[in-house]
Amino acid sequence: METAVLETRESELEKMLAGKEYDSRDPVLLGMRRQTRANLNRYNSDPTPENLAAVLGYEPENLTVVPPFQCEYGRNLKFGKNVFVNFNFSALTGAIVEVGDNCLIGPNVGIYTAMHPLDPDRRKEGVNFSKPVKIGANCWLGAGVIVLPGVEIGEGCTIGAGSVVTRDIPPRCVAAGNPCKILKRLDPRRETENSEKGIAK
């Protein structure tokens, strides 16, 4: 006697979170984006901790986000402790965006995980896919920085204003430009000496 095998169809949400191609017009995803926009509207007009928690789906620890603030799916934004985000922050969050502890994010910064097929016919069909972005602890992103899909910025980095980060940046670097390039690698020993001498870094 043969046993019937039931096939479980992967949802568009599951595909999106797995980094696979998905249909952005899916009713569940549309509903999630509508709910996020409604929560953002409340937060941007009344920036209370409770309204921010409603956007993110959790209560962040000592997070400041200066409105206005925009994102697709608040639940995919993962902030560490003691993060400051200045005004006009925008994030396309089809994939997870992680921001580590003690980060500073300047005004008009954009972090984008969303990608589209190069084939225009497939784009018309609403096909998307996303790649996660990770920003390590103790980073500073200057005003107008753009971080593109799949990028990882190591801990302790400074990214100069107006930079477009297209590739990974290793830890403890100063980087800037379009495309963003490493300008300086920080020497931990030198920084310790300067700190002990009271020299501005």
CA gap 22, 24 in Å, rounded = 6
Residue 116 is among the residues annotated as catalytic for this protein: yes
Task: Name the pTM for this structure.
Answer: 0.86
In the chain, what are the domain boundaries?
Answer: 18-195
pLDDT at 158: 97
**Spatial distance between the Cα atoms of 13 and 24, rounded to a whole number of angstroms:** 9
Other Cβ atoms less than 10 A from the Cβ of 158: the count is 20
pLDDT of residue 187: 76
Q: Tokens 């953002």: give the residue.
A: 40
Pairing of strands 173-176, 181-185: antiparallel
User: Catalytic residue among 37, 42, 75, 116, which?
Assistant: 116
The owner of tokens 């169809």 is 9
pLDDT in tens, the chain (201 residues): 454 444 567 899 999 999 999 998 999 999 999 999 999 999 999 999 999 999 999 999 999 999 999 999 999 999 999 999 999 999 999 999 999 999 999 999 999 999 998 999 888 888 899 999 999 999 999 999 999 999 999 999 999 999 999 999 999 999 999 999 999 999 766 554 444 443 333
Burial class (CB in 10 A: 0-12, 13-18, 19+), 157: buried
Q: Domain 18-195 is in which class?
A: mainly beta
CA distance 86 to 41: 17
The dihedral region occupied by 13, where left means phi > 0, alpha psi between -120 and 50, and beta the remainder, is alpha
